[in-house]
């Protein structure tokens, strides 16, 4: 059986311990055009559980001004949400 | 995959006039972590022809970043699985997908590049990256190139006449022991996705006639920094400098295969 997470576990900040943290984590993301793709990347990183919550305030995509095309901006925002959630999980106790 | 489908439904078609986009003929080199979302976005944007070059099969360790594939695709060739997914997710897209099961090599590079308007490269090895850059300059084609390793992803677009070009920035292939071994270094899947969004953005800017040539974009997912830097042309550049040494494509220049699968 191939290890689906082997490439991200190579990261010093993740490893087996970080991957376990990721697997046990629950992530809530705000509803919006970015939520589906953010969910896709989070699911592929092995996150324990992901829920899209329409009641949380939408995130302000920090790098939106670098994207002129809406579909690229939305995709980048999705990847950004997923990335920042993983970073937060790794930083948590 | 249902989430992916819903997402692509919710990504609106871009709001610019479609005529230049519908005429564009794009060559995408590599259907990996960068290539998968780039292909999806360019098909969604409705580029006329999207020709995809890849010769690899899906591996389980790819799936965290290669969003066109799932566990049922393991062992299948990436082109078949990838094109199937793009067709399903972009069923209304006018884009003609042209998968080519091949690797970009010094023997075939000029022919593949000659035949398109724009080249987009998201391969995983330096030999292919330099081969792409050299061929695009020699064939006068604009080029978008992306890379991702660990927490960082970068993208650059270069003009058909260079100045600056990829070699103004990177000069030459790194020695095998200097380059991070792609399999060893690791990468976070969503960081690669961010890089692909940058690549698609730079490609669409070229198609729409307002390119951002000669700048690198670099995103660090850990520090959440996105930087845009100018690349300075080098008079001594072997490719686009005042006395170029690279005027054709020969095998010996691209022998480094340290990061090849």
Nearest-neighbour CA in chain A from B246: distance (Å) = 34
Average pLDDT, stretch B151-172? 96
ipTM associated with this complex? 0.97
Q: What is the CA radius of gyration of chain B?
A: 17
Q: Look at B64 and A67 and tell me if their CB atoms are within 8 Å.
A: no
Closest residue by Cα to residue B206 from B25, B7, B1: B25
Q: With beta carbons under 8 A apart, name residues in chain A contacting B150.
A: 11
Q: Kindly tell me if the per-residue pLDDT of B186 is higher than 90.
A: yes
Query: How much is the pLDDT for B13?
Result: 47
pLDDT at B155 over 50: yes
Note whether residue B260 is domain-resident: no
Q: With respect to residue A20, please indicate whether it lies within any of the assigned structural domains.
A: no
The answer to whether residue A19 is domain-embedded is no
Domain assignment present for B259: no
Residue B79 maps to a domain: yes
Non-local (6+) Cβ contacts of A68 within 8 A are: B201, B204, B205
pTM as predicted: 0.93
Backbone angles phi, psi at A57, to 5 degrees: -65, 140
Assess if residue B192 is contained within a domain: yes
pLDDT digits (tens, 9 = 90+) for B38-81: 999 999 999 999 999 999 999 999 999 999 999 999 999 999 99
Mutation for testing the A interface, residue in B124, B151, B188, B203 having most A CBs under 10 Å = B188
Split into its structural domains, chain A has a count of 1
Residue B126 lies in a domain: yes
Q: Find the domain containing A79 and state its range.
A: 27-88
C-alpha to C-alpha distance for B99 and B159, rounded to whole angstroms = 25
Listing DSSP states for A40-92 in one string gives HHHHHTT-SEEEEETTSPPP--TTGGG--SHHHHHHHHHHHHHHHHHHHHHH-
The percentage of chain B sitting over the pLDDT mark of 70, rounded to a whole number, equals 89
Domain membership flag for residue A73: yes
Residues B215, A93 contacting (CB under 8 angstroms): no
pLDDT in tens, B18-37: 689 999 999 999 999 999 99
Low-confidence residues of chain A: pLDDT under 70: 1
Q: Looking at chain A, which residue has its C-alpha nearest residue B70?
A: A44
CATH of residue B94 = 3.40.50.720
Confirm or reject contact between A19 and chain B (CB < 8 A).
Answer: no
Reply yes or no on whether the pLDDT at B1 is more than 80. no
Nearest Cβ partner for A2 among B10, B61, B186? B61
Residue A69 covered by a domain: yes
Q: Taking residues B100-105, what's their average pLDDT?
A: 97
Of B9 and A92, the one with more pLDDT:
A92
Is A44 within 8 Å of B183 when comparing Cβ atoms?
no
- B261, part of any domain: no
- The mean pLDDT of B156-170, rounded to a whole number, is 97
Give me the pLDDT at residue B261, please. 40
Q: How remote is the C-alpha of B60 from its chain's centroid?
A: 22
Q: How far apart are CA B118 and CA B114, in angstroms?
A: 10
User: B150 is in which domain, residue-wise?
Assistant: 2-254
Q: Is B92 on the interface with A (CB under 8 A)?
A: no
Those of residues 23-82 in B touching chain A at CB distance below 8 A are: 37, 41, 44-45, 59-65, 67, 71, 74
In chain B, the number of structural domains is: 1
The DSSP bridge partners found for residue B51 are B27, B98
Query: What's the mean per-residue pLDDT of chain B?
Result: 91
What is the per-residue pLDDT for B52?
A: 98
CA distance B30 to B16: 27
Residues of B in contact with A41 (CB under 8 A): 67, 189-190, 193
Query: What is the predicted pLDDT for the residue at B176?
Result: 72
Give B125-170 as a 3 state SS string. Answer: CHHHHHHHHHHHHHCCCCEEEEEEEECEEEEEEECCCCCCCHHHHH
pLDDT band at B2 (very low <50, low <70, confident <90, very high): low
pLDDT reading at B258 higher than 50: no
Helix segments in chain B, DSSP class H: 2-10, 19-23, 35-45, 78-89, 109-114, 126-138, 166-170, 182-185, 189-207
């Amino acid at each position: 059986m191939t290890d689906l997470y082997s490439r991200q576990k190579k990261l010093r900040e993740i490893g087996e311990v970080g991957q376990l943290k990721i697997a046990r984590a629950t992530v809530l993301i705000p509803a919006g055009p970015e939520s589906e793709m953010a969910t896709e990347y989070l699911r592929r990183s092995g996150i324990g559980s992901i829920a899209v919550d329409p009641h949380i305030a939408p995130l302000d995509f920090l790098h939106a001004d670098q994207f002129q095309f809406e579909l690229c901006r939305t995709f980048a925002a999705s990847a950004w949400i997923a990335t920042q959630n993983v970073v937060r999980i790794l930083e948590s106790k | 995959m249902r989430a992916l489908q819903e997402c692509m439904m919710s990504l609106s078609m871009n709001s610019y006039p479609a005529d230049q986009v519908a005429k564009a003929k794009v060559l995408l080199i590599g259907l990996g972590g960068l290539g998968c979302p780039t292909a999806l976005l360019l098909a969604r944007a409705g580029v006329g022809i999207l020709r995809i070059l890849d010769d690899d099969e899906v591996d389980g360790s790819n799936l965290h970043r290669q969003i066109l594939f799932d566990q049922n695709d393991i062992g299948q060739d990436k082109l078949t699985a990838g094109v199937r997914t793009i067709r399903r997710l972009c069923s209304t897209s006018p884009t003609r997908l042209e998968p080519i099961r091949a690797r970009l090599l010094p023997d075939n590079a000029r022919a593949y590049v000659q035949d398109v308007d724009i080249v987009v490269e998201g391969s995983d090895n330096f030999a292919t990256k330099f081969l792409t850059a050299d061929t695009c300059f020699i064939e006068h084609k604009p080029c978008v190139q992306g890379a991702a390793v660990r927490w960082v992803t970068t993208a650059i677009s270069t003009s058909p006449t260079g100045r600056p070009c990829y070699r103004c920035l990177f000069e030459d292939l790194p020695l095998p022991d200097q380059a991070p071994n792609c399999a060893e270094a690791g990468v976070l899947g969503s960081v690669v996705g961010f890089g692909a969004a940058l690549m698609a953005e730079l490609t669409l800017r070229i198609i729409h006639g307002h390119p951002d040539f000669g700048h690198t974009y670099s995103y660090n997912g850990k520090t959440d920094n996105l930087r845009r830097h100018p690349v300075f042309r080098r008079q001594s550049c072997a490719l686009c400098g005042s006395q170029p040494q690279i005027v054709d494509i020969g095998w010996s220049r691209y022998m480094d295969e340290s990061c090849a699968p």
